Chain A
Amino acid sequence: MESCPRNRETCPKLLDLIPRGRKWHQEEKNNTDHEHKLELRLAPPGGDEEDHYAVNKKNIETRNNNIVKEAEDKPIFNGGNHSSASNKTIYTPHISHKRTAPGPVVGWPPVRSFRKNLASTSSSKLGNESSLGGQVNKNSDGEKQVQPKREGMFVKINMDSVLIGRKIDLNAYNSYKQLSFAVDKLFRGLLAAQRENSGGEGEEKPIINSLDGKGEFTLTYEDNEGDKMLVGDVPWHMFISSVKRLRVIKSSEISSALRFGCSKQQKLRT
């Protein structure tokens, strides 16, 4: 698979994930067909792409921290030939900082684990289309579990250094191997596009190997108690019943991620 901007066949899949008419920005000034302009385009910069998204800090709400910080640098769909303005279709303008905190910062924001778990449990309930419809059951441990309905259990999946996350239907797979392969396919294109921009190789190689940790990336997940866990420890059905979202992290980050994120809770359980 080639990198996205060149291969028009694969990229439309990504386009399809973005619902039409979704409001990415607050009120447009004088735009009758702003929906049309909100679409991601693959065409080279046309006249109608460059005007309004350039910089309007007052009208544009800051969104994802990661998106803001990286907006100037590596827009995914930029093959390197486009002006950065044309890629502001989805990214908010870069706000200058002195010291940018990289990615997720340990212990920030200063909120106790109790509260973080609460927020994540709730957001996955409210944001997760299908698990809401599931029956709330109590298993023998007395812990609440949501049994997913058969028709699709979509969870968010993010990857380090990739700005846009995906959603993946866990019910479509029956084993970790299938999941690993699917995740790999999902992100390969995006990752390759980014690598290409930064001058790296755009090779097609398996980037994820969650099971033996040999790959450059490892698959982790966040469970229904808000803890970050390594994928693969428990039987598949147990994983399915407790997973809330997935994250692909660099294998080298594992030890620090595990320690700072949840060492306290991990140790309590053992």
Chain B
Amino acid sequence: MNRATKLRPSTSEMNYFPDEVIEHIFDFVASHRDRNSISLVNKSWHKIERYSRRQVFIGNCYAISPERLIRRFPCLRSLTLKGKPHFADFNLVPHEWGGFLHPWIDALAKGRVKLEELRLKRMVVSDESLELLSRSFVGFKSLVLVSCDGFTTDGLASIAANCRNLRELDLQENEIDDHRGQWLNCFPDTCTTLVSLNFACLKGEINLSALERLVARSPNLKSLKVNRAVPLDALARLMSCCASQLVDLGVGCYENNEPEPESFAKLLFAIAKCTSLRSLSGFSEVGQLCLTAFIPISANLTSLNLSYAAEIQGNHLIKFVHFCKRLQRLWILDSIGDKGLEVVASSCKELQELRVFPSDLHDEEDNNNTAVTEVGLVAISAGCPKLHSILYFCKQMTNAALITVAKNCPNFIRFRLCILEPNKPDHITSQSLDEGFGAIVQACKGLRRLSVSGLLTDKVFLYIGMYAEQLEMLSIAFAGDTDKGMLDVLNGCKKLRKLEIRDSPFGNAALLADVGKYETMRSLWMSSCEVTLGGCKRLARNAPWLNVEIINENESGRMERNEEDEREKVDRLYLYRTVVGTRKDAPPCVTIL
């Protein structure tokens, strides 16, 4: 909501208040978008807002430089940075593309910013950056790394050793080189402030006694997610330490064969004490026995992530989920099957967010007869009235099902459907899925994020352009027929911020039709489409405030590009608005036009 436009000229009266009062009022405005709006009202408000801003969110680390950030917000305490484009998650972006953290830490340290929190997504983080971070900010409290890479457990050791007031160390799905050192030992005995510790993504062994001592001296520990190197009996001991305050637990352990009865009994005993537990995850190398151990507290759970529980058979997943009556968030594998989703639909009436991941991508013989289909999706939509967010990987879909889902759930904010086979039509009528997705965008007036799949023509994009008024992010793969599809989206979706397209026949005409549109968006990704080098060059010429990056196939491509035929199709294009021009850290495989 843009509050600036709602204010009338009489706001000048507010300026008779001392700045501190205005600042105090601003304190109640937390959303960064609202704060951005506030800063646009007048110079005075801009200045007050600047100095009082504590949290800054930067969706693209190359849109602005760290120096400019610090100049504008010298008092910032919390910074969120995102680096690589989303498709980097699927190996479409070269490893060395960019998104380096170091310049930011360097600038923040030099600017003597009193940084307390750092949240990073898809950034390249080095041990040196982590070391510098740990030494530069005395009050540093919280480090959250999601899908980052480039560092080792040595970097974690620096954080552990030097951040005296560390409250949160949350590592989600990062690629960390595990030196299997003693990083947990590096937490000094004086460190008692931990509230959240998540190292589930680490692959190697850890020092169990160091972990136990750390947990024992952390009376505020609410969230603990361990990796697979923590066996059942150690987990039971850990849980006993902090059972009463534990809100969030991540389980994962080597399980040799059956757990020993004694360890298992200890685990059961510990679980019984976890009366505050609301969120459960992990189970990546754990069998069903360990899951059933949690049934006694399952009725309290609001969040359950079993999407790594590849060892647990569908029927056991179903049995467990059946007990989770208060569940709001469920991440699960498709081994739960349509039948399992029907159980979810009848048991989990509070469900708001569902993600169903594919369990066996290598199953070429298709032994997996329990993967999910449109039946499960319809069941969920019918049974869960509060559902607003879904990510669904399935083998097949129909228009009829999508139309039913749209009718049942007009409240979707996020709707991401991934039919595993590209270009797959409605499996009953053999038609495209345009009508199904059309129904979704028409019914779900608040839809902000959409991913489409299956056989789709230009028509679906006509619908999206027409109806998806709140759409901010759209992901397209193997869809569309002509440039008109992309044009309809760009012209129709006024709030579009991120558009990512792969393997679709959109070309220069769509790319160049409205260059100004890209200033209103964060970024555009196009790979294996029809845009040519000539088209991209023209775009770059007409829009100097855009970085137009061409990611080449061969890594040494840069010199050759000048002689390339302008009619040559571009393999990967990534463009984004920026106020700081061409970045200097691009590797050879990236050409910035």
B485 interface residue (CB < 8 Å to A): no
Whether B358 pairs with A64 at a CB distance below 8 angstroms is: no
Q: Contact string, A250-270, partner B, CB cutoff 8 A, digits 1/0? A: 000000000011111101110
CB of A46 closer than 8 Å to a CB of B: no
Bound complex: CA A206 to CA B366 (Å) = 31
How many of chain B's residues have a CB under 8 angstroms from any CB in A? 61
Q: Are B366 and A112 in contact (CB under 8 A)?
A: no
Contact yes or no, B477 A142, CB < 8 A: no
Asked if B418 and A64 sit within 8 Å, CB to CB, the answer is no
Q: What's the minimum C-beta distance from B281 to chain A, rounded to whole angstroms?
A: 13
Q: Does B363 contact A (CB under 8 A)?
A: yes
The CA-CA distance from A245 to B91 in the complex, in Å, is 21
| Candidates B361, B364, B396, B428; contact of A158 at CB < 8 Å | B364
Residues of chain A lying within 8 A (CB to CB) of residue B297: none
Contact of A95 among B89, B311, B430 (CB under 8 A): B430
A136 surroundings in chain B (CB, below 8 A): 254, 256
Contacts of A99 in B (CB 8 A): 422-423, 478, 503
User: Measured between alpha carbons, how far is A233 from B549 in the docked complex, in Å?
Assistant: 36
Known: A141-B180, A165-B364. A114 touches B256 (CB 8 A): no
Give, as a whole number of angstroms, the nearest-CB distance from B142 to chain A: 23
Residue A101 CB within 8 A of the other chain: yes
Q: Does A36 contact B (CB under 8 A)?
A: no
Query: Which of A109, A165, A264, A269 has the most chain B CB atoms closer than 10 A to its own CB?
Result: A109
Residues of A within 8 A of B204 (CB): 141-143
- Asked if A264 and B358 make an inter-chain contact with CB atoms under 8 angstroms apart, the answer reads no
B91/A114 in contact, CB under 8 A = no
Q: Contact check, A112 vs B95: say whether CB atoms are below 8 A apart.
A: no
- Could you tell me if B422 and A105 are in contact, using CB atoms closer than 8 angstroms? yes
Binary CB contact string for chain A from 111 to 122 against chain B (1 if under 8 A, 0 otherwise)? 111111011111
The answer to whether residues A265 and B362 also contact, given A101-B423, A143-B204 and a CB cut-off of 8 A, is: no
Residues of A within 8 A of B421 (CB): 62, 65, 68
Does B173 belong to the interface (CB within 8 Å)?
A: yes
Asked if B362 and A119 make an inter-chain contact with CB atoms under 8 angstroms apart, the answer reads yes
B:268-285 near A, CB below 8 Å = 284-285
Contact at A144–B254, with CB atoms within 8 Å? yes
B455 part of interface (Cβ distance < 8 Å): yes
B404-426 CB mask vs A (1 if < 8 Å, else 0) is 00000000000000101111110
List B residues 242-275 near A (Cβ within 8 Å): 254, 256
Dominant secondary structure at the B interface: loop
A98 at the binding interface (Cβ < 8 Å): yes
**A115's closest neighbor in chain B, by CB?**
B357
Per the bound structure, the CA–CA distance linking A255 and B364 in Å amounts to 24
B344 interface residue, CB < 8 Å from A? no
Closest to B205 in A: A142
- Chain A residues near B451: list those with CB within 8 A: 110
Contact of A109 among B180, B285, B393, B455 (CB under 8 A): B393
Q: Tell me the smallest distance from the CB of A1 to a CB of chain B, in Å.
A: 26
Question: Is B147 at the interface (CB under 8 A from chain A)?
Answer: yes
Nearest B residue to A98 by beta-carbon distance?
Answer: B423
In chain A, positions 53-93 with a C-beta closer than 8 Å to chain B are: 57-58, 61-66, 68
Report the minimal beta-carbon distance from B196 to chain A, rounded to whole angstroms. 20
Query: Which of A63, A113, A121, A144 contacts B310, CB < 8 Å?
Result: A121
Smallest beta-carbon distance A92→chain B, Å = 10
Distance between Cα atoms of A127 and B361 in the complex (Å): 13
- Taken together as a complex, chains A and B put the C-alpha atoms of A142 and B478 apart, in Å, by 42
Set of chain A residues within 8 Å of B229, measured between Cβ atoms: 142
Chain B CB count within 10 A is highest, among A63, A97, A108, A123, for A108
A26 smallest CB distance to B (angstroms) = 9
Check if A107 is an interface residue, CB within 8 A of chain B.
yes
Docked-complex contact A264 and B90, CB < 8 angstroms = no
Chain B 97-133 interface 0/1 with A at a Cβ cutoff of 8 Å (1 = within): 0000000000000000000000000000000000000
Considering only CB atoms, which chain A residue lies closest to B416 in the complex? Answer: A110
Report the count of interface residues on A (CB-CB < 8 A): 55
Given known A-B contacts A118-B310, A265-B175, A109 and B423 have beta carbons under 8 A apart: no
The answer to the question of A43 belonging to the interface, with a C-beta cut-off of 8 Å to chain B, is no
Query: Complex formed: what's the CA distance from A108 to B420 in Å?
Result: 8
Q: Which residues of B contact A245 (CB under 8 A)?
A: 362
Q: Which residues of B contact A118 (CB under 8 A)?
A: 284, 308, 310
Given contacts A116-B361, A158-B364, contact A96 B254 (CB under 8 A): no
CA distance A115 to B420 in the complex (A): 15
A119 partner residues in chain B, CB cutoff 8 A: 310, 358-362
In the assembled complex, the CB of B197 is this many whole angstroms from the nearest CB of chain A, namely: 19
With contacts A100-B423, A158-B364 taken as known, whether A106 is within 8 angstroms of B358 at the C-beta atoms is no
Q: Is B339 an interface residue (CB 8 A)?
A: no
Is B361 a contact of A109 with CB atoms below 8 Å? yes
Task: Digitize B353-383: 1 where CB-to-A-CB distance is under 8 Å, 0 elsewhere.
Answer: 0000111111111110100000000000000
* Residue in chain B with minimal CB distance to A124: B362
B502 within 8 A of A: yes
Q: Is the CB of A264 within 8 A of B365?
A: no
Q: Is B326 interfacial (CB 8 A cutoff)? A: no
Check B21 for interface membership: any CB of A closer than 8 A.
no
Q: B228 contacts which chain A residues (CB < 8 A)? A: 144
A96 to B430, CA, bound (A): 8
Q: How far is the CA of A263 from the CA of B96 in the complex (A)?
A: 10
Q: Does A138 contact B (CB under 8 A)?
A: yes
Chain A positions 117-140 with a Cβ under 8 Å from a chain B Cβ: 118-125, 127, 136, 138
Are B91 and A107 in touch, CB under 8 angstroms?
A: yes
Residues of chain B contacted by A66 (CB below 8 angstroms): 364
Known: A136-B256, A264-B149, A267-B95. A64 touches B366 (CB 8 A): yes
Listed by A's residue number, 18 A-B pairs whose Cβ atoms lie within 8 Å are A62-B424, A64-B366, A95-B424, A97-B422, A97-B455, A101-B478, A107-B87, A109-B361, A110-B89, A113-B91, A120-B361, A120-B362, A141-B204, A142-B205, A245-B362, A264-B95, A264-B149, A264-B175
Beyond A97-B455, A114-B201, A142-B229, 4 additional pairs, beta carbon < 8 A: A97-B424, A110-B87, A123-B362, A141-B204
Which 3 A-B pairs have CB atoms at the shortest separation, nearest pair first? A122-B310, A142-B205, A107-B90
